[in-house]
Structure 1
């Protein structure tokens, strides 16, 4: 028992090695090791790999938009101002968002999320309505950026790209980018999903406007929908549609809208102008659009109109959107399920990268070979220095233990490894062995170690040196860790964690091992 107390640091090292082995190799430890978002999990271990070691795509693009801030606008004025600005700027109302002042915002802001409006045009339109913004700048508000992350994440989760991750990246100068990482996917798959905002609208177009014109009214919004699915309408499987279950509390309101629009007896759509969402003749149409383009325009069957009028629709409130094939049906269902993006992404300024999985696998193999070479070279240098296997072997084993514990930590927190992180591992090997050499030199080069007290004195002296060196390394790496510098941040994180493991665990353990060796010799 006394031996365990004297060598408690070695016991701690062995314990951490066992825990690291569990984190690395036991399936399901920790929970979620089937693949964290934005990473691919190695089947033989619980390690996660980023796109540089697994292949895949990273997109990094700014959000399209301009924002006017410092506007004294209230919640009561929000809807009217959005409508007025959309009309004056000749854009769709979904491209204008007013954020009124409130408890979390002393002054209001107005965002326009389209490339068709300039800063001066927005300032002029606001001035025409009695608002003088303090600033007008490129970009969107922090609220919209967070909404973008949530919307894109939901869109990717409900698509085939379920392993992707989304985050906001801030770069020096104040510009913000949305960064999307999708392992094992090519760029085209990602762009196809993100290229459009996914705005699905259902309109009723019917006569009743001034001078015999037709009225266009949006009759069913996303928050009124409960269940959404794409399927066929016939056994042959060639008549695809999107089936929408209207929420019970909204079904009566929807039915009444349809009756008020004149669809209670059914309607013949007649000749519909798909180019500008306008009716030219006929009783009226139900029009379905995706990103502003008409998907289908259809009339209303007499029996469906009757169900609106007598309230039977509420008993089975399923609304059917006919489509032109399975691909269109799945796209509409996906966009309805995930919701529209608050703003488009400017993919023309994409600064991301794409890597073929075969090339990534080669990088992984080359990284392993590089690590083995580094260990071999370090071992040769240390042996040339001491020419004593009983000193060199514990030193190399301790350094490798440090790397193994660091790998266990990375596996436990499910941190995706990229090339920059592997460079951090190699740096940890180098700095670790440097510190162990300092300990060995301080203890062995000042003559015989006759007592444990002498050993402890020399060890403390060496530990002060490596402690100061570790503090210097941590301070130097800290800016790289916190600043948005991409892969350099990963390098800094691995290096700092490795240094902490070394100072707190492996260096003291090596001291205990060396004490046993040198005192036994005497």
Structure 2
């Protein structure tokens, strides 16, 4: 028999071997199938690269960490008829009428509906007060137009920002998603391995609104403050660094649009002249003499520093705008890192409501026990299934390939999880065990149908019997997928992981492992 004939007769087995080989590469070869940076935030690569023998990523149940589900603070008025050129005016009126700052008000136009939506990101304004403020801005609104919660676009923005925050902070393996409660309330769900609830809550509670203010003499013996750079004015932000000249700092670059205005302000306010090196912010007896650049995060001053001569010279001559870079100082490495993260991630569109959050955490030591017990349970399930199958058939030609094929299915699933950096949790482990059980059930159906009516003496007889068995397996697989599909789609916590693994296992079984087992069994029984 030629090579082409062999491949044609056993291509399903060859496909199974190839997939198992690819899965083993994804599991054990450092870096897996694709570079690590292709999956930012998708696994624990940085933390586990040297400790784990595999490329598998683990979730909270197997690695420890914290999950916080919190609603978004906000109130929304929808389907408002506002002229496009008045959106900014309406925002300004809402700020004045309700006494909130600009970061907590948003008026957006929705192209699909043709209406505007106004959002208020505070929790101390009633629906009636919000509607009254809209009417003061010339918008026809009633209390019935206002509801609790924020829009989907705002939630999507928050999810993107938090994802960037946890990735920039080096919290590999973190995940951010959205879930909903039966009452219609939406939650932002953040999972981060190896972090305590207090640490994660601190990260999420920081709104991350960064600005630079000029603190300079007002000419009357006092000081005045003027915002000279806002979060959107930064074009590039480098990681936090340290050197003897600047101490802890974050190198930044200013956008081409904002750089000329910033340079002009520094010259106008005297920072490049008498203000060079003159900053004694907070020191007694310095009022009316300070020229300080204040770094403000969420309304609090994190650092105050003067304009250095190396920066003042190019600004004075007008050359700085050609290469608009400088460093923002911070008192410690922690605050410099937080500043860098906030600048790169951007600010949260709205704060999270931690008074109504739901917190789940697992200690790393307990997670290690879960990991060990999961491995022991998996091994015991395989040994038990192998023993039962052998007792049922007492024929190694039937039982041996059955167990090997079922294990190959699990290896392919594990390789897939490693390739996409899926953080495995206890629910996924339950799914793997279910896959082993349902997989062997299907293989038993094949063996029983093929061997029930006596010896198989030809390839044609085997194919006929195998086809009958495969119809039963296909129908069972379709039923399983239909039953599990809602669990895989809906936000039902750990049940989702169980459903996803089960569905993937069924699909791999129907299209790969069951046909491959049929080819192996046909060869062993008929020699063809």
Q: Which category describes the TM-score, using the shorter chain as reference length?
A: 0.7 to 0.9
- 1:199 paired with 2:206, answer no
Normalising by structure 1, report the TM-score: 0.85
From 116, 133, 142, give the equivalent of 1:125: 133
Distance in 2 between residues matched to 1:36 and 1:243, nearest whole Å = 23
Query: Which consecutive unaligned segments of at least 5 residues does structure 1 have?
Result: none
The alignment's C-alpha RMSD in Å is 3.6
Task: State the match for 1:369 in structure 2.
Answer: 376
For each residue in 1:316-340, what CA deviation from the matched residue of structure 2 results, as whole angstroms up to 9, or x when unmatched? 7566656545544443343234322
Distance in 2 between residues matched to 1:342 and 1:183, nearest whole Å = 24
Distance in 1 between residues matched to 2:470 and 2:453, nearest whole Å = 16
Secondary structure of residue in 1 paired with 2:358: coil
From 45, 62, 73, give the equivalent of 2:54: 45
From 331, 343, 349, give the equivalent of 1:336: 343
Distance in 1 between residues matched to 2:514 and 2:95, nearest whole Å = 66
Distance in 2 between residues matched to 1:288 and 1:16, nearest whole Å = 54
CA shift, 1:228, in A, is 4.8
Secondary structure of residue in 1 paired with 2:228: strand
Distance 1:375 1:270, change over 3 A: closer
- 1:95 paired with 2:104, answer yes
- 1:467 paired with 2:467, answer no
From 415, 435, 439, give the equivalent of 2:442: 435
From 12, 19, 22, give the equivalent of 2:22: 19
Higher mean alpha-carbon deviation, 426-435 vs 338-347, is at: 338-347
Secondary structure of residue in 2 paired with 1:476: helix
Higher mean alpha-carbon deviation, 214-223 vs 113-122, is at: 214-223
Matches within 5 A, 1:375-454: 375-454=382-461
- 1:7 paired with 2:10, answer yes
Distance in 1 between residues matched to 2:346 and 2:394, nearest whole Å = 68
Query: Which consecutive unaligned segments of at least 5 residues does structure 2 have?
Result: none
CA shift, 1:397, in A, is 1.9
Distance 1:358 1:36, change over 3 A: farther
Secondary structure of residue in 2 paired with 1:423: helix
How many corresponding residue pairs? 513
Distance in 2 between residues matched to 1:148 and 1:122, nearest whole Å = 23
Higher mean alpha-carbon deviation, 328-337 vs 49-58, is at: 328-337
CA shift, 1:301, in A, is 9.1
Task: State the match for 2:168 in structure 1.
Answer: 158
For each residue in 1:460-513, what CA deviation from the matched residue of structure 2 results, as whole angstroms up to 9, or x when unmatched? 222222221111111111111111112211111111111122222222222233
Distance in 1 between residues matched to 2:29 and 2:316, nearest whole Å = 62
Matches within 5 A, 1:283-322: 287-295=294-302, 311=318, 314=321
Matches within 5 A, 1:52-201: 52-101=61-110, 103-133=111-141, 135-201=145-211
Distance in 2 between residues matched to 1:110 and 1:180, nearest whole Å = 26
Distance in 2 between residues matched to 1:245 and 1:514, nearest whole Å = 67
Normalising by structure 2, report the TM-score: 0.84
CA shift, 1:203, in A, is 3.1
Task: State the match for 1:503 in structure 2.
Answer: 510
